[in-house]
Structure 1
């Protein structure tokens, strides 16, 4: 049996050490289920998500992520570790090291199953590249839960995720609400991210559709890599070419990178920043008044729900097959009242790869 790469990158921690007082307080959580499940054109139905109080036994759950290199996946990891501890199950996280490592992700999941995993939760590197593996695992009677990224296989047990199209749409709706049809036209510089990426195209579509019919004029979208230097240059060029820009909206990196530029140029209050997803940097920017708003997809809760779905499937209990936290916009009005550990990992959180 091959070694489980990256399985024990941090010391295993006890359930008691992980289970914080707040862990019991995350539910019920406003969520949306998709009916019928897994359908591309499924209808969203509001639900209040309630996890199990405890698991019947210490099930062995394997969790596979593309990587744990940024705060987003750290947040998902925090969610799965905390929920495993709260439910009283064993959990191991393996991470492939990046989005180019599909073969490694497949190998790691195969190793998990060979070493006795009773359920698998997958943050997929590829939408279709894991389909054969999912089918093979499902044939063994092992539940497979798709978390965050999306997997195309019809053999999945459940999905815990949200739509980036909705994330883009929520951002557009927020602006359209401030500048409805009939009010004075305002210009928005829009930076969706790297051209061709599925999540970027989805967010772009949602944003553009949401501002239709409002007083928002979206300038020609500027696509580019989510490196800080690339995004900063794009914003600089857009402000230079369009002195009447009222908003800069785009990726979290765009908003984070543009904060200093806006301050340096004395444009605070004249040009506001928005991101279409949440990161610790964006959250801090909103708290400090440098970023106006961003929708939260509650990635921590997506991780928690995925573990609960896996346990429910193992225990043959009812579960929602396709569900995600309800997306809401965080802005100065609510930033101090939203529980941070629902939408982001705690400050200075160190990844926990094993729960016993």
Structure 2
């Protein structure tokens, strides 16, 4: 049976039970001990069949049966109408669900009326559809970009091999070096894609971690690259305990500091790494000097394969997934990532993750 029919029968059944109880109460407490001769004068239009000699339980049962039949019909009709009106929002939600199942994620319920349980359900469903639509669009864009990025080194490799086949006198050492560079770049891109997928699935063991220790380790690891580029690294702040994957958090901090070093001033640049604690959150902030950045450019830097063409350095371009991986790792740790251009040039990146217990 449909829900509407079940509700209709429930309404009618409840009305029948209430009618039976009401009539039984009337008979038990009002009419059972009242002489029939007292009731007839109160009912001037009663047919003569209801004379004092034959007025009794049988007559009352007959009248009660008529009343109950009326209540049954009224309960069925009224219950059917009321159930239809109550369940009409579910019909709209069901239609939207079917459209979403068929691939139409742009449809929204937008249920009108006052805020009740159905309205809350419809609004939650609309919010879910909006998030799914955005996620699907992002995945499609990511797949297209990944396909393009992966196709580039393969195309370059084929071109180099075609040239070498047609030019037998070409230096094989140079060919090998160029193929090695292209192959290394393809491997780096593949590993970055795998890391991004791993962070997005949240398939990692959560352990206690201290962002201040991670910051010091990253600074020590990237000290050689910073020194080579004439960039100073300054680490400061307090312990910032959280719970998550130490390896992924280390990768997150490494990407941030690496970007801060690469996208910096040509000389005498600085990278500041600060850790600390805010109410309910462990925080790591990475800032760097550099060119002044437009807010519109900064808002796109976390998109996959968005390198920021105005800031790119040809000798260390990366694969365009650094900040995308950072954002995925932060989201996997239920944190927030904020990018803000510095007034004097450069970028300020703030990562907040839930505060963990102090070990």
- Per the normalisation by structure 1, the TM-score is 0.21
Q: Which has the higher strand share?
A: 1
Instruction: Identify which of structures 1 and 2 has the higher relative contact order when contacts are C-alpha pairs closer than 8 Å and 6+ apart.
Output: 1
Rg (Cα) greater in structure = 2
- Per the normalisation by structure 2, the TM-score is 0.21
Q: Which has the higher helix share?
A: 2
